[in-house]
Structure 1
Amino acid sequence: MMIDDLTPAERRVWDAFPRGASVDFRTSGDEDVTRGGGWGPERTVRASVLRALLLTGAQEDGEIAALRLTGARITGVLHLMYAAVGTPVRLSHCHFDATPLLYGAQFRQLNLRASVLPGLDAGALHVEGVLRMSDCRVRGPVGLSGLKITRALFLERAEFRARDAAEPVLQLNHAEIGDGLLAQGIRAHGRVRLDGASIAGVADLTDAELRALSGTALDATGLTVGADLRARGLRTEGGIDLRGARIPGRLDLMGARLSHPGGTALRVSSSVISELWLYLGDRVEGDLVMRRAHIDLLNMTPEKLPEKVLLNNLTYTTLAPHEPAERRLPMLAGGDRYEPYAYEQLTAAYRRIGDDDAARLVQLAKQRRRRATLPWYGRLWGHVQDVTVGYGFRLLRAAVWLLSLLAVGSVAYGLDHPRPLKADEAPGFNPVFYTLDLLLPVIDFGQERAFAPGGWHQWLSYALVVTGWILATATVAGVTRAVSRQ
């Protein structure tokens, strides 16, 4: 275009560019940029002028050219697809009438801070420095798929809204970020995609608000983070999908409010995470799926967990904070089926800190859960073992049963002695040892062979003999199970 076509506002920008000087059209520091569509020609710049500056603008000797524009209304489409822009670009507090087309472009540095845009088409964008979109307001999809940036991406307090429920509002899938993703306080009204992204530093979503119009609010399958994924105070409406993620630091969800009723609120299946912190704040609304994940420290409180927690093949080293087994067991019962590995993991976590009583309680719960999967005769025998010796974890019960039955038999036979088989050869009757003879299959005190009960004595003897055999068999089975575990 010809220089003669420039308006006074554009002339200011054109003259400032070679020296890298700033042009600020704002009338106050707190003006509402969302109303920028009504700004007049005194602060309006055509996108074609900016394109001409960035591609063919002059430079002054001894100066560093740069486009530094604040508070302007930019009309038309800023078309820089596949362009190589060698100067820093700052278009802050600007109002864009049309969606900029930056697909495949290369920038040294790009700053759109606090600007208002109808969308952004910047897939495969390459930025050598930082990309800053802090405090931006975008009313359409932001396409940054395949973004490559050597430094950090700043999205603090930015707001993204989708026009179409089926269209992601922010796409960072397969992005490569050489430093951190700083998105504290971001507001996304639509699906955010981070699947396949690689972030060398920290990904920070502290106090973010992600509201999906339907389904998944944050799709981060295969995400790789170099340090922590911080999401304290995160609020979601929709699921978070972190399947296959690699987080060598902490996945911090302290105080987060995760809500996806009827669906999966958080999925970390097949992920490798050093620490997962999930406590404080409201209970998770929706399913928690942790299948096949590997987590060193699992730091979560029972009151934070939803009713349905899927833990099959989850491997973890430490479970914190230390809670009684009774408070941890409900999370193992929330799956669709019996998963013995989940019980073994919880048992190992308690044994690792020396809480053997809790470990035994978990193993007892495991046997009870397993019992429900057995045929009727297996369930029947399981109930017997549970009542008598607690599957070998409550062996003291056997002694209680024995003493109780011994007391019943001793009193009954002490009040009414059974008759001797041979009166001249029978020893003196002892109700205690006679009852022991009936109860203990492998001990013989000579009382049972010398006396023949009749009537109700006989039925009581049958009951004591059968009960003794059941008690002995259950005890042996329980001891064998305990020894095999050792």
Structure 2
Amino acid sequence: MDLDDLTPAELRVWQAFPRGESVDFRAADDEDVADDGDWGLERTVRATVLRAVLLNGPQEDGETSALKLSGARITGLLNLQYGTVEHAVRLSHCFFEHAPLLHGSRLRQLNLSNSVLPGLVAATLRMEGVLRLTDCRVRGPVRLGGAQIAGALFMDRAEITPPDTAEPALQLNHVNIGDDLWAPGLRAHGEVRLNGASVAGSVNLNDARLSNPGDIVLDAQTLSVESNFYMRFLVTFGWIGLRGARVAGRLDLSCACLSNPGGAALRASDCSIGELWLRKGPPMEGTLTLRRAQIDELFLEPEVVPDEVQFNGLVYTSLTPQEPAERRLPMLERDREGYVPHSYETLTAAYLRIGDDHAARLVQLAQQRRRRATLSWDGRLWGHIQDATTGYGLRPLRAALWLLFAVIALLVIAWLSTRAVLSGISNAGLGPGDAPPLVAAIVSIGTVSGVLIGGILTGLAKFVRARGQNESDVIRARGQADSDLIRAQAEMKRAEADVIRARMGLTLAGPTSTDPGAAVNPPAISQNGDEAAGLAAPNQPTGDAAGA
């Protein structure tokens, strides 16, 4: 390039390049780059001059060449397409009239911090170091699809506002970043595309604000992050797609505000995540989809869960914070697919892993009740009966109480019936020998059952009282319960013997004298209905039988 054709500003840049010296045209450090109306020729550099400097610039022995320019107005198109630049490039606080064309180029390091650009075309870029777009204001799309960046990509506090959203605002699809993608405070109007990208470090979108209402705002399908993905205090208008993504560390959506009314707010189906944090934020406006996701630790606060979810196939090892089942179950009832057995089983397993058997039983009971609503009328009726009696087998105490009530009711009915029969016999002037054998057997069985049940309940009461004592007391209480049971069994044996004797007495009853006029006076039946006393000694002779 002929030096005579250079302006004073361009000549200054040309001469500073061989030694890597900085050229700063700014009037003040806090100068607003967007206000370029007053910048004249003294701050104007043609893009063709910068291209010549970078590709065929002067060299000096023993010096490291570098382009370091600040506060310049760059006119024309900076075209480095498929070119190779062996020097570091810093074009900070500059105003570009046209979007730089870096498609397929190879650079060592590029810094465009605090610059204003109408766009950036850098697909399939090869960067040996760091690409820095910190505090940039880009008024068109940023195309970095398929770029290979060995270092980090910095886009903190960058603003990307294309005139329309027909094209994604930030295109990082299939990009390969060897370090971090650092973009806290990013502002983007339109889709941010990260599908198929691979990041060896972390992704930081804390305090970012992404807007694409009614459409996808962050497309990170099949994204691979080897460390953490931070989206704390993220604000989105549109839905986030993480289908098939893999995050080895934490996906942190703490204090995030996700809004897409009438559609999905977060779709993370078929993804693999180390930790998913959804906490300390307002409820999502839209559907939360975690179908078939594999999550090691799910930190999910019930307050964050929206009115509609999709959890079918979701698998997680642990669920925090530890909340009672009453606060977790409403989440499952909001599933868009209705009754999803897998969701209840996964929640039950999570409670069992932390030893909360009571919560696990509550979840199982809720699952059966939810399933009951899907059955036919007869299945629902039988389900209501099971629920009322035994709690689907999950409420054993309720079943024991029903059994105890049934036994007591049967005993009362048997006692009342026997009392009525024996009262009728007594009123008819008959003796206990005239009572049917069945009545005697019922009386004996009632006595035996009462003794047996009393012994069991007494032992059970002693055992329950002993639960609060030490182990020796528990063992002593169990021994006492066993002894009570043995005594009850002995009483049962004696009662059975009484039944046998009663039956023998019934067989031998009747006149024993040969005198046809003789009669045997029946033993008196006590007025209080103690028929068992009359049956206690049926073989004792009375009247003339004793004389015989």
The 1-side partners of 2:235 and 2:404 are apart by: 59
Once the two structures are TM-superposed, the CA of residue 343 in structure 1 deviates from its matched residue by: 1.0
Change (3 A) 1:352 1:260: same
Query: Matched residues in 2 for 1:101 and 1:278: separation?
Result: 40
Q: Whose Rg is larger?
A: 2
Which structure is higher in RCO with an 8 Å CA cutoff and minimum separation 6? 1
1:360 aligned residue: 361
1:291 counterpart letter in structure 2:
R
Structure 2: distance between partners of 1:40 and 1:214: 44
Instruction: Report if aligned partners of 1:291, 1:310 keep a CA contact under 8 Å in 2.
Output: yes
TM-superposed CA distance for 1:189, in Å, is 1.4
Distance in 1 between the 2:104 and 2:128 partners?
A: 13
Shift of 1:399: 3.2
Matching residue's letter, 1:396: L
Q: In 2, Cα distance between the equivalents of 1:285 and 1:223?
A: 24
SS in 2 for 1:343: helix
Q: Is the 8 A contact 1:20 1:65 kept in 2?
A: yes
Q: Which moved more, 1:37-46 or 1:411-420?
A: 411-420
Structure 1: gaps spanning 5 or more residues: 438-444, 446-486
TM-score scaled by structure 2?
0.76
Q: Please state how far the C-alpha of 1:35 moved relative to its aligned partner.
A: 1.3
CA deviations over 1:329-377 (Å, ceiling 9, x no partner): 1111121222111111111111101000011111111111111222221
**1:386 is aligned to 2:391:** no
Q: Contact between 1:191 and 1:213, CA under 8 Å: does it hold in 2?
A: no
Q: Is the 8 A contact 1:37 1:95 kept in 2?
A: no
Structure 2 counterpart of 1:289, which letter? Answer: T
Report what 1:82 is aligned to: 82
Q: Secondary structure at the match of 2:58?
A: coil
Of 173-182 and 420-429, the range deviating more from structure 2: 420-429
Over residues 276-319 of structure 1, what are the superposed CA-to-partner deviations in whole Å (9 max), with x where a residue is unaligned?
A: 11101211211111111111100111111112121111111010
The superposition leaves residues 461-485 of structure 1 with CA deviations (integer Å, 9 ceiling, x where unpaired) of xxxxxxxxxxxxxxxxxxxxxxxxx
Q: Equivalents in 1 of 2:166, 2:181: separation in Å?
A: 25
Shift of 1:406: 6.6
Residue number in structure 2 paired with 1:51: 51
Q: Which amino acid aligns with 1:198?
A: S
Q: Which residue of 1 aligns with 2:260?
A: 260
Q: Which amino acid aligns with 2:123?
A: G
What amino acid is the match of 1:348? A
Contact preservation (8 Å) 1:189, 1:213: no
State the Cα RMSD in Å: 2.5
What do residues 247-302 of structure 1 show as CA deviations (whole Å, max 9, x unaligned)?
A: 11111111111111111111111111111111012112111111111111001111
Counterpart code for 1:301: E
Alignment map for 1:427-438 (pairs within 5 Å): 427=440
SS in 2 for 1:280: coil
Residue deviations 1:47-98, cap 9 Å, x none? 1111111111111111111110001111111111111111110000101111
1:135/1:355 Cα in 2 relative to 1: closer, same or farther (>3 Å)? same
- CA contact under 8 A between 1:319 and 1:349: conserved in structure 2? yes
Consecutive unaligned residues in structure 2, runs of 5 or more: 426-434, 451-494, 496-548
User: Any conservation in 1 of the 2:414–2:442 contact (CA below 8 Å)?
Assistant: no
* Aligned equivalent of 1:468: none
| Partner secondary structure for residue 109 of structure 1 | strand
Equivalent pairs counted in the alignment come to 437
What does residue range 88-107 of structure 1 map to in structure 2 within 5 Å?
88-107=88-107
The reply on whether 1:130 has 2:130 as its aligned counterpart is yes
Match of 2:68, SS state, is: strand
Instruction: State the distance in 1 between where 2:419 and 2:121 align.
Output: 98
Match of 2:13 in 1: 13
2:139 corresponding residue in structure 1: 139
- The residue type equivalent to 2:86 in the other structure is G
Within 5 Å, which residues of 2 pair with 1:370-381? Answer: 370-381=371-382
- Which residue of 2 is the match for residue 148 of structure 1? 148
Structure 2 counterpart of 1:181:
181
Per-residue deviation at 1:408?
7.2
1:399-423 per-residue CA deviation (whole Å, 9 max, x = no partner) reads 3334556777888998998964995
Distance in 1 (alpha carbons) for counterparts of 2:364 and 2:236? 36
Amino acid across the alignment from 2:328:
R
The answer to whether the 8 Å contact 1:99/1:117 transfers is yes
* 1:470 match: none
